[in-house]
Structure 1
Amino acid sequence: MSSDSQEIRRSILSKWHKTLSEYGNLFSSDTISGTSPPSVFVGSYNYPKVFVGPMVPPIHGDTSLLDNPEKWKGRSLEEIINFRLNLVRGVQKTGIEETEGRYIENLQEITMSEKPTDLDLVFIKNTSSNISMDGESAPFGPTGEIKSAKFSGSTPTKPIEKIFYDKDMKAQDAVLKLYSSGIEISKIQKCFSIGMLGKKRKLVPTKWSITATDDIISKSIVKEILQNSIIDTCKVFSYEHLGNVFSVILFPHRWIFEMIEGWYSNGILGFGSDSEDARGIDHPPRIAGAYFAAKLGVSEYLLKNKIQAGVLIFREIRPEYAIPVGVWQVREGIREAMKQKPQMVSDFNHALNLASSKTSVSKKEWIVNGDMINRVRQKTILDFI
């Protein structure tokens, strides 16, 4: 980890501790009363007996922004981390098959709510104000084991309510139905996680539900774009946010997709990549959920514009991205990249030059750490350096 990353993390931690010194009683208590965005969390620790519960800030009112990644464009890393830290996580240990008890049903009701929902929680003991910022996992606020919970009434989101009561629809079909109804992906992921979808319902750890939702939707979109005409020129899109630089190349080819990530660790540049053709990916991606998040962001663009293309994405993770905040930022970063005006170039090699110039990583380093050149042209890497 670079000194820049460590300094950024120290600065954020310092400000958080200052907040605790002023309002610590709100974050270290055996009770909390507040308005959930709404937000729920299902952990993966001790699976299949997992910790499940609502996330609630110690304030009342419109708190929807605190857990709505689709609305975080232009927000700084520090702002987004503070959104997360201000949500107190109440938990109870629950088996993943237990989706019909009153506690889980209450969580399902707030998940499908149109608006933020008031909650009152009593914990077995005071919540801990200690937080984790190890640079590896996304941070979260204080956690407390719930002794009792009072949930206020809520108005359900109609498309979600309809899907919830359809016990004959497969989970995959339910995800696609909600997506086509205009429900935000972050909302669909929560419904998936809290056991609201499918025939054989169960709780799904939040991080798994995020990846599964992106995978289901992007896979469905790719099936559609395979019927579209192939573009006849190369386009390069780029976007930067939260210490992440994205360069996206679209080039004339039947659907083929690769994402290459480059990051810095102790001053050394590391890489990871995964790719697929029209048959899809045949293994769990090495770059994990970021792969499906990026695939979804770019496939939406192809579907909307009724085109088909080969896709190569460079993601440079700079030291400024000192604290990871989740793969949602990859999906939203690619979505924003595809909203920018593309630069048109005559051939793939020029596109590689342009895309790599947006980053601090050389074209050669990107190419040798991916597989696209071999897939596309059956030429040697030297032909493109």
Structure 2
Amino acid sequence: MMVFLYHRAVGFVRGDLCVKCRGGRYLCGLSYCPLLVRQAAAPFRQPPPKELYGSSPPSVFVGRVGYPKVRLYPSSPPEVGDTTPYENPKEWLHMSLERFLAMRLSLYRGAVVLRVEDAARPPRLLQDVQLLALSQRPVELYLQFRKPPRGVYFSEYSPPMGPSAPAERVEVEGTPALPRAAEKAYSDVDLKAAEAVVELYRHGLEVAYISRALSVGALGGRRRRLVPTRWAITAVDKIISDHLVEKVKDYPEVDGYYLYARRTVGNLFIAILAPSKWAYEWGEAFEPHTVWNPGGSVEMELDYELYGGRRDYPEIGGCYYAARLATAEALMRMRRQAAAILWREVYTGFTAPTGVWWVRENVRAMYKDEPARFDTLEEALEAASYLLKIPLERWLTMSRIVHLLKNRLV
């Protein structure tokens, strides 16, 4: 009798394939093993607890449903100790997808309903959660649920999270450890939110930390607001990259055509830096049966900006600004400006919605490798064509920056 495993992305997977694969050959076509994810997360999710005591990494999520009333979710795995890997994108980049997903889906969330303007004069509970969110080390958290937590959370923007339920009690225990720069920004009600974001970045705090601080309403002037997490992530990527791009524009142009590439599980990232004033484009191609493309043909999106920037939000979404931030950081290290062409290919089997951190950290890692250097754009594109799976011609029909460079319009 044939046994089948149901997976939401691909439907039913034959059990005999699982026996042959044993989580190592990915015969089902996925880029991770759903059985391993299920098994790794099982000790944390069976049975659903009525209460939880653990070390929050720290982790706090702010939903957007019901805005301007939102749900605030302080979160923790059911373990005590060093849980910082649960909220560290730099570590996630070096994990298998199985381990990453199992870890993130082990975060239990207790929901508290607040109005976004409560951040201006936060009640005691919100103050405690704000300090938890600003801590640089894990903080003990007690959650008592009104009913057993259920479900999981996947998003294009935020990393996955585990079960949730309304919280009857939330108690933050221990003493959060705030960086001096964050403590100063938290107490300065005359410092605008965008200025606080840049200031924290200048002091070496990571974007994941800064977006969490913005989300819980710990930054800004006297009219602070809770910000849904998905909005805060993109806002921080944009604010910081805007700041860096303005500095990049003062540098000389790169002295040739630089080709970068990074191949990782189910993905290829390509970047070409061309001698020009600042310009930028981000394109994505999704093969069939990938995250966000369940159909039967390749789907492609692309958006761009020129030297003057853009006034509207790119339709392609938050990954645009995540990759833009990584690109601006790379140019700052080089002390150069360029026209940056970035393309991402997502291959069949990559079905896990990981969040925009996946793009930001992979593009950061890509720029740390030594590039191939060429004298002409045509040479760089020809070299890229040997790496790309989607025909170069399809990319060129989408690309605005390549067209402008070829016609010397940027």
Q: What's the TM-score once normalised by structure 1's chain length?
A: 0.92
The SS at the match of 2:200 is helix
Unaligned runs of 5+ in 2: 1-8, 12-25, 289-294
2:216 to 194, 200, 207: 194
Alpha-carbon distance in 2 for matches of 1:2, 1:236? 35
1:145 to 166, 177, 180: 166
Name 1:72's counterpart in structure 2.
92
Name 1:93's counterpart in structure 2.
113
Change (3 A) 1:8 1:273: same
Structure 2 residue 44 is matched with structure 1 residue 15: no
1:131 to 136, 147, 152: 152
1:82 to 102, 108, 119: 102
Note if contact 1:54-1:91 (Cα within 8 Å) is conserved in structure 2. Answer: yes
Alpha-carbon distance in 2 for matches of 1:28, 1:75? 26
Name 2:260's counterpart in structure 1.
237
1:167-212 CA distances to partner (integer Å, 9 max, x unpaired)? 1011000000000000011000000100011112100000100000
Alpha-carbon distance in 2 for matches of 1:23, 1:63? 14
**How is 1:223-372 mapped onto 2 (pairs within 5 angstroms)?**
223-265=246-288, 266-372=295-401
Shift of 1:137: 8.0
The residue type equivalent to 1:70 in the other structure is: K
Alpha-carbon distance in 1 for matches of 2:231, 2:154? 21
The residue type equivalent to 1:248 in the other structure is: A
Alpha-carbon distance in 2 for matches of 1:257, 1:23? 43
Alpha-carbon distance in 1 for matches of 2:103, 2:45? 16
Name 1:114's counterpart in structure 2.
136
The residue type equivalent to 1:273 in the other structure is: L
The residue type equivalent to 2:196 in the other structure is: A
Alpha-carbon distance in 1 for matches of 2:232, 2:128? 19
The residue type equivalent to 2:126 in the other structure is: I
Shift of 1:243: 1.9
Shift of 1:234: 0.4
Unaligned runs of 5+ in 1: 381-385
Name 2:405's counterpart in structure 1.
376
Shift of 1:158: 1.4
Change (3 A) 1:5 1:117: farther
Structure 2 residue 80 is matched with structure 1 residue 60: yes
Structure 2 residue 235 is matched with structure 1 residue 212: yes
Aligned residues: 377
The residue type equivalent to 1:174 in the other structure is: A
What is the identity percentage for the equivalent residue pairs of Structure 1 and Structure 2? 31
Note if contact 1:70-1:184 (Cα within 8 Å) is conserved in structure 2. Answer: no
Name 1:383's counterpart in structure 2.
none
Change (3 A) 1:65 1:313: same
1:310-329 CA distances to partner (integer Å, 9 max, x unpaired)? 11011111124211110011
Alpha-carbon distance in 1 for matches of 2:328, 2:397? 25
Note if contact 2:157-2:233 (Cα within 8 Å) is conserved in structure 1. Answer: no
Alpha-carbon distance in 2 for matches of 1:326, 1:135? 5
The residue type equivalent to 2:178 in the other structure is: P
Shift of 1:10: 8.8
1:52-96 CA distances to partner (integer Å, 9 max, x unpaired)? 021100000000001111222321222211121011111111111
Give the aligned CA root-mean-square deviation in angstroms. Answer: 2.3
Change (3 A) 1:271 1:187: same
Greater mean deviation of Cα atoms: 130-139 or 265-274: 130-139
Structure 2 residue 66 is matched with structure 1 residue 46: yes
The SS at the match of 1:323 is coil
Q: What's the TM-score once normalised by structure 2's chain length?
A: 0.87
Note if contact 2:286-2:345 (Cα within 8 Å) is conserved in structure 1. Answer: yes
Name 1:167's counterpart in structure 2.
189
Name 2:21's counterpart in structure 1.
none
Alpha-carbon distance in 1 for matches of 2:336, 2:249? 9
Note if contact 1:229-1:306 (Cα within 8 Å) is conserved in structure 2. Answer: yes
Shift of 1:139: 3.4
The residue type equivalent to 1:54 in the other structure is: P
Shift of 1:375: 2.3
Alpha-carbon distance in 1 for matches of 2:328, 2:153? 34
The SS at the match of 1:106 is helix
Greater mean deviation of Cα atoms: 352-361 or 37-46: 352-361
Alpha-carbon distance in 2 for matches of 1:327, 1:95? 26
Note if contact 2:279-2:306 (Cα within 8 Å) is conserved in structure 1. Answer: yes
Alpha-carbon distance in 2 for matches of 1:338, 1:10? 26
Alpha-carbon distance in 2 for matches of 1:379, 1:305? 24
Change (3 A) 1:79 1:346: same
Alpha-carbon distance in 1 for matches of 2:383, 2:312? 30
Change (3 A) 1:222 1:133: closer
Change (3 A) 1:375 1:118: same
The SS at the match of 2:263 is strand
1:125-180 CA distances to partner (integer Å, 9 max, x unpaired)? 1112x336699985321101111111112222211011100110110000000000
Change (3 A) 1:86 1:211: same
Note if contact 1:36-1:117 (Cα within 8 Å) is conserved in structure 2. Answer: yes
Alpha-carbon distance in 1 for matches of 2:366, 2:351? 22
Note if contact 1:244-1:317 (Cα within 8 Å) is conserved in structure 2. Answer: yes
